[in-house]
Structure 1
Amino acid sequence: MVLHHRSRYGRYAGGPDPLAPPVDLSEALEAVAEDVMAGYSPRHALEEFLRRGGRNRDGLDQLAARVQQRRKDLLGRHRLDGTLDEVRKLLDTAVLEERKQLARDALMDNTDRAFREMQLQNLPASTAAAVNELASYDWQSGSAREAYERIKDLLGREVLDQRFAGMKQALENATDEDREAVNGMLRDLNGLLDKHRRGEDTDADFREFMARHGSFFPENPQSVEELIDALATRAAAAQRLLQSMSPEQREELMRLSAQAFGSPELMAQLDQLDSSLRALRPGEDWSGSERFEGQEGLGLGDGTGVLQDVAELDSLAEQLSQSYNGSALDDLDLDALARQLGQDAAVTARTLAEIERAMRDGGYLRRGADGDLRLSPQAMRRLGKSLLRDTAKQLSGRQGRRETRAAGAAGDQTGSSRQWEFGDAGPWDVTRTMTNAIRRTVAEGRDPGRGFRLGVGDIEVTETEARTQAAVVLLVDVSFSMAAEGRWVPMKRTALALHHLVSTRFRGDRLQLVTFGRYAQSMDIAQLTALPALREQGTNLHHGLLLAGRFFRQHPSMQHVLLVVTDGEPTAHLLADGDSWFNWPPDRETIRATVTELDRLGRAGVQATFFRLGDDPGLERFIQRLARRIDGRVVAPDVGGLGAAVVGEYLRAHVRSSYGGSDWDL
């Protein structure tokens, strides 16, 4: 006999998928870095990204808005007199059936009939008062008696459903034995809670209680504390339900509750339960209320469930706000979020929490000496790589441009090769490039004999023994006009892209970043990235050129390359005592000092390129004159193309020096 085993596969439901790929941090890192470059702290930038979300993912604000809309919908759809309406309908049915029976009963004494008619005719307008008045009425109609008994049954199930979700349906058509089982459960529950309040209960007491009455608790609590938590949450919601009613509705229901199952003992047990839960969980909201404005009537149990939902939504709103001390997205109740907004919301929140955790714990943010979070070197490298990739796309997409090279290489070939990277100027290793393409084509299951395409990853370039090294100074204007005109972040993105290119591809080069405002200052890439925009007047190009000259003198054997990014004429220069002299319009002495230092760099053979931002005619004329003095170049990119322009000029200068002065047109 052969046994056939079948396996069934479905969506993993045991928490986060252990086989899921790691969360993609590229978008988060770029967004955080963009805000950091704009002047935000990394902590605030990360919080803002989590609030905004990504291109294809909601953020905390969108989830919070959905939570508020769900809350509004619940309160706007319902009203709280559903139980009163049901009782009134059953009462009307009982009275109508009784009158029909009285009219049909010819054997009844006329006096008795008249008395009964008068009693039915003069019932109080209050539903509760009418139900209570008919408690001792001797019904002549069996259907009328049945309708009246259903009132007591309904009230009993409703008041139990307030404390134990699902009880209304579970006790429908219940027998006397079923009701006695409920009373027994309540007696044992109150006894257990009373012992717990006195500190006399044991684990055995809880296990014994659950063994006898566990079917009443679908939540399957694992301890008496979990049991109390579940009961107190619903009991508090039931109390808020009563306080959300009008005084007339509340009074009617309180009077009607005496008729629940026709059992005063039931209400006494429930009152004792409420008292114990209030004492055990005073932190629950026992005094709140809500305003229901809809048309869909709710019974006591359903209304209590809605208010539980409202309380859960309020808790989610607080968690999503992240406004309390020590808040973190790990605090989010994903199960509650899935219940209220659907599984997609829980997945979104889990992903945001993973992003926050990965950014904080994955080495992308680190604490500085002052205790504040900062972008780590790892984050800077990843961001620089991304920015350089964007710059490469801009360069390769320029229409009508092509690369031209002079024959020969910058050094003898070593016989080895490596994968091509952006900025490589060496010749291809054709044999290895073609071999890589053929291997990839075969691995993809295609026949290379029928043709194949080269991919970027296939290309290998020949290594050479020697390359001309360059000492590069990127001088960037940090006067306030750069920030005011929207050039602040593009300037930083440019510096990051160039820094990554030099540090990864041209490791033999040396790059110095120099900022110049009222004063000039040499900075590392992390300092420049985090530099806030200062409302400080002054464009001290003179001081920047002095620092550039000092750097070049430290690397005398290298090719000297100067890249200057500015949007204004020099308005400050450094005095002999180290102070900065500022004047607007530009002072003659400031211009003289700037030109003198530039001439000194020109005589030392510096290759200079000026990147002029903006359309000011005066700046254009001035920059052109500066460039002509030292045989430099002027580039006037739009702000979005600044990175491509600077990287392109660096490569142009580097390749020109490597190939004996040949032009490399990017």
Structure 2
Amino acid sequence: MSRYRYGAYQDGPDPLAPPYDVRDALDAVGDAVLEGVRPDEALRDLLRRGLPGVRDRRGLDDMLREVRRRRRELRERGRLDGTLEEARALLDTAIGQERAELFPDPSDDARLREAELDTLPDDTAQAVRRLSDYRWRSGAAGETFEKLKDLLRREVLDARFQGMKQALQGQDPQAMERVKDMMAALNRMLERDARGEHTQDDFDRFMQEYGEFFPDAPQNLEELVDSLARRAAAMDRLLNSLSPEQREELAGLMDQMLQDAGLAMEMTRLNDALRARRPDLGWGGSERMTGDEPLGMGDATSALAELADLSGLESALGQDYPGARLDDIDEDAVRRALGRQAVDDLQNLRRIEAELERQGYLARRKGKLELTPKAVRRLGETALRRVFSQLASGRQGDHDQRDAGQAGELTGTSRPWTFGDEQPLDVVRTVSNAIRRNAMDGGGAAVKLGVDDFEVQETERRTGAAVCLLVDLSYSMVLRGTWAAAKQTTLALHSLVTSRFPQDAIQIIGFSNYARTLHPTEMAGLDWDMVQGTNLHHALMIAGRHLDGHPDFEPIVLVVTDGEPTAHLLPDGRSLFDYPPSADTLVLTMAEVDKMTRRGAGMNFFMLADDRRLVSFVEEVARRNGGRVFAPDAERLGEYVVSDYLRVRRGRAGRR
């Protein structure tokens, strides 16, 4: 009977995980855009923080912190001169064992040998070279010296070929011959590739023959070259990171080992080929290691290769250079440094921008990332949901009139259909009428619908409203921190009107030194105007034309500002600024207020500052117009504006 074991899925992203809702990313980008951040910067900030609403999904900053932590650990792991230190210890041990063997011997040969040992240079490499032909009297000393040569052989090859230390465990001459054959075959393969003669079959045959020397199992020549070049460059940095004396000593030991093993020429050929193919790997650099534990040459090279990976990865994850893109981040480097889950997180981040564009929320125009109308509608809906979540519980419903009519909420009653009706059909009553009529007429089983059978569902009558939202765009809105709240409020009100009260006609008017009509898409990414002037006079003129264009609609005028009028239009169309406000500015602005009053439009002001001049002005407007004045906190501006709009619409409809 078969037995099964179950565990966490390790081969990539969870195939059963729910798909990520890109609209959450859009909301996060939109919040930043409404704060005044450009869409491309907002998206970059989102990618740095990670995906909202998704657990265990790291952003670039999380990965960057992990990379820096790993670099710190590697630097503190040990010292780079471990092989040199171990070689010196073995050499001193061998010499001590030889002296112990020679000391009891009174012969001249023993004294000559002692003299030869006395004249050995302090440099370990030169001493090893001098002793390479020395005939050891002590068997233990000879064995120690062979251990020294075996150590150098394994460490030097392990520094160039990861895992070679294990493959050369012991002093098997046949193993060294296979290393020679492997390196010769590798160099021939690289030369054939340089001439354009290499094929994948050549690589497959090479790996079949010498695959035990490459535990990372590269799949093609490029992967093999990348692995070898990274280690060769790390070995170069290892030598450069030592003191000049240590560097010369270790280089001498390596040269001596390669000469003794007959690998010097092949290693030089390989090193030159790797440098030529990967000059970008930072050859000639250095790295500072601060740990106390001495590292062998192979381990030190691995550490330096990983540090080089982490350094490049740190730069790519930082994304703080011109033209930075997520595609610059090497997935293989991420996998080596942070594991497979980090690769999955990176791929998810890459999909965000692509999905936002594919689903029509972002678009590139002239190289700039912009929000589309679809995205702005989504931001308006989100802003509106937030506003409604803040409203006190209770009936905050639609503006309505309690007689039956053509549009509005269903009343639960129906009436016979007449030509021109656009209300939804009452299917149940229509079919019931047909069945009853068919039975009374003595018809058969088949039921046929007649014109007189149709009934439509009655709805509450709704009156249309002409809504004007006037939003201050002056620089003071930014200085007071109310700019983002004003934009969110604008989008929320526009979403409410267009989605729930489509019969209403809304116009958004922005004003600073001049006033202008704003489209919601423009409003979402709009920056404040760094100009002098709060030209409410011009804004009211534009609003008046909107109301006059909808004479049968209920007029609603809402003004969001943090300052009194300080500019007005001259007869030639130019804007005149004056502070404190000139008498002409106040007179012309009040004239437009009076026109609004004659239109029957109440002007409700939402003050975002408690400036004395502003308070005095809006109180005078309220006295002459009959409108209301609110002084909400910026965080509650949307709640106040939307609530007032609903109240005014209900109130107007209720009086009809």
> Fold-level match, TM-score > 0.5?
yes
CA distance in 2, matches of 1:66, 1:371: 33
- 1:392 maps to 2:388: yes
CA distance in 1, matches of 2:396, 2:302: 71
State the AA in 2 paired with 1:559: E
State the AA in 2 paired with 1:85: E
- 1:312 maps to 2:309: yes
Alpha-carbon shift at residue 497 of structure 1 (Å)? 0.8
- 1:81 maps to 2:92: no
State the AA in 2 paired with 1:373: L
CA distance in 1, matches of 2:70, 2:2: 45
Aligned twin of 1:93: 93
Aligned twin of 1:366: 363
Distance 1:283 1:600, change over 3 A: closer
CA distance in 1, matches of 2:250, 2:106: 37
Query: Contact 2:176 / 2:261 at 8 angstroms: preserved in 1?
Result: no
For residues 392-445 of structure 1, what are the alpha-carbon distances to aligned partners after superposition, in whole Å with 9 as ceiling and x for unaligned?
121126xxx87699998353674669xxxxxxxxxxxxxxxxxxxxxxxxxxxx
Pairwise CA RMSD: 2.8
Q: 2:154 aligns with which of 146, 157, 173?
A: 157
Q: 2:636 aligns with which of 623, 638, 641?
A: 641
For residues 106-161 of structure 1, what are the alpha-carbon distances to aligned partners after superposition, in whole Å with 9 as ceiling and x for unaligned?
xx453333333444444332222222222223223322221110111011111111
Alpha-carbon shift at residue 26 of structure 1 (Å)? 4.7
For residues 79-113 of structure 1, what are the alpha-carbon distances to aligned partners after superposition, in whole Å with 9 as ceiling and x for unaligned?
2211111111212222233333345x6xx453333
Aligned twin of 2:67: 67
Alpha-carbon shift at residue 27 of structure 1 (Å)? 4.9
Aligned twin of 1:488: 483
Aligned twin of 2:432: none
Aligned twin of 1:256: 253
- 1:592 maps to 2:626: no
Please identify, of 351-360 and 525-534, the stretch whose mean Cα deviation from structure 2 is larger.
351-360
Q: 1:411 aligns with which of 388, 396, 404?
A: 404
Alpha-carbon shift at residue 292 of structure 1 (Å)? 3.1
Aligned twin of 1:48: 45
Please identify, of 402-411 and 69-78, the stretch whose mean Cα deviation from structure 2 is larger.
402-411
Alpha-carbon shift at residue 319 of structure 1 (Å)? 2.1
State the AA in 1 paired with 2:100: K
Q: 2:499 aligns with which of 501, 504, 516?
A: 504
Distance 1:210 1:550, change over 3 A: same
CA distance in 1, matches of 2:78, 2:400: 83
CA distance in 1, matches of 2:617, 2:16: 61
Alignment of 1:209-608 (within 5 A): 209-260=206-257, 263-322=260-319, 327-342=324-339, 345-368=342-365, 370-396=366-392, 409=402, 411=404, 414=410, 464-608=459-603
State the AA in 1 paired with 2:319: Q
SS of corresponding position for 1:619: helix
SS of corresponding position for 1:79: coil
Aligned twin of 2:164: 167
Alpha-carbon shift at residue 281 of structure 1 (Å)? 3.5
> What TM-score do the two structures reach when normalised by structure 2?
0.85
Distance 1:319 1:406, change over 3 A: closer
- 1:116 maps to 2:113: yes
CA distance in 1, matches of 2:207, 2:399: 88
SS of corresponding position for 1:306: helix
CA distance in 2, matches of 1:482, 1:599: 27
CA distance in 2, matches of 1:262, 1:550: 94
SS of corresponding position for 1:409: strand
Alpha-carbon shift at residue 560 of structure 1 (Å)? 0.9
CA distance in 1, matches of 2:398, 2:381: 26
CA distance in 1, matches of 2:36, 2:232: 50
For residues 464-502 of structure 1, what are the alpha-carbon distances to aligned partners after superposition, in whole Å with 9 as ceiling and x for unaligned?
242122111111111221122111111001001111111
SS of corresponding position for 2:509: strand
SS of corresponding position for 2:581: coil
Alpha-carbon shift at residue 593 of structure 1 (Å)? 1.3
CA distance in 1, matches of 2:625, 2:642: 21
Alpha-carbon shift at residue 58 of structure 1 (Å)? 5.3
Distance 1:599 1:378, change over 3 A: same
For residues 199-238 of structure 1, what are the alpha-carbon distances to aligned partners after superposition, in whole Å with 9 as ceiling and x for unaligned?
3444443332222112212232333333323222222222
Task: Number of aligned residue pairs: give it.
Answer: 607
CA distance in 2, matches of 1:199, 1:177: 33
CA distance in 2, matches of 1:406, 1:52: 42
Please identify, of 250-259 and 13-22, the stretch whose mean Cα deviation from structure 2 is larger.
13-22
CA distance in 1, matches of 2:357, 2:90: 62
CA distance in 2, matches of 1:278, 1:629: 84
Distance 1:296 1:253, change over 3 A: same
Aligned twin of 1:183: 180
State the AA in 1 paired with 2:402: A
Aligned twin of 1:658: 653
Please identify, of 538-547 and 90-99, the stretch whose mean Cα deviation from structure 2 is larger.
90-99
CA distance in 1, matches of 2:171, 2:234: 26
SS of corresponding position for 2:605: strand
CA distance in 2, matches of 1:375, 1:261: 63
Query: Contact 2:475 / 2:529 at 8 angstroms: preserved in 1?
Result: yes
Aligned twin of 1:434: none
Alpha-carbon shift at residue 346 of structure 1 (Å)? 3.9
Distance 1:111 1:385, change over 3 A: same
Distance 1:19 1:579, change over 3 A: same
CA distance in 2, matches of 1:516, 1:29: 28
Query: Contact 2:399 / 2:650 at 8 angstroms: preserved in 1?
Result: no
Distance 1:193 1:366, change over 3 A: closer
CA distance in 2, matches of 1:574, 1:582: 9
CA distance in 1, matches of 2:399, 2:218: 80
State the AA in 2 paired with 1:575: L
Query: Contact 2:400 / 2:461 at 8 angstroms: preserved in 1?
Result: no
Alpha-carbon shift at residue 291 of structure 1 (Å)? 3.1
Distance 1:201 1:558, change over 3 A: closer
Query: Contact 2:396 / 2:646 at 8 angstroms: preserved in 1?
Result: no
- 1:23 maps to 2:20: yes
Alpha-carbon shift at residue 330 of structure 1 (Å)? 3.6
Q: 2:36 aligns with which of 12, 35, 39?
A: 39
Alpha-carbon shift at residue 53 of structure 1 (Å)? 4.3
State the AA in 1 paired with 2:220: S
> What TM-score do the two structures reach when normalised by structure 1?
0.84
Distance 1:410 1:365, change over 3 A: farther
For residues 506-551 of structure 1, what are the alpha-carbon distances to aligned partners after superposition, in whole Å with 9 as ceiling and x for unaligned?
1121111011111111111111222211221111111111111111
Please identify, of 628-637 and 124-133, the stretch whose mean Cα deviation from structure 2 is larger.
124-133
CA distance in 1, matches of 2:160, 2:397: 83
Query: Contact 1:410 / 1:659 at 8 angstroms: preserved in 2?
Result: no
Aligned twin of 2:626: 631
State the AA in 2 paired with 1:378: K
Alpha-carbon shift at residue 5 of structure 1 (Å)? 2.8
Distance 1:94 1:371, change over 3 A: closer
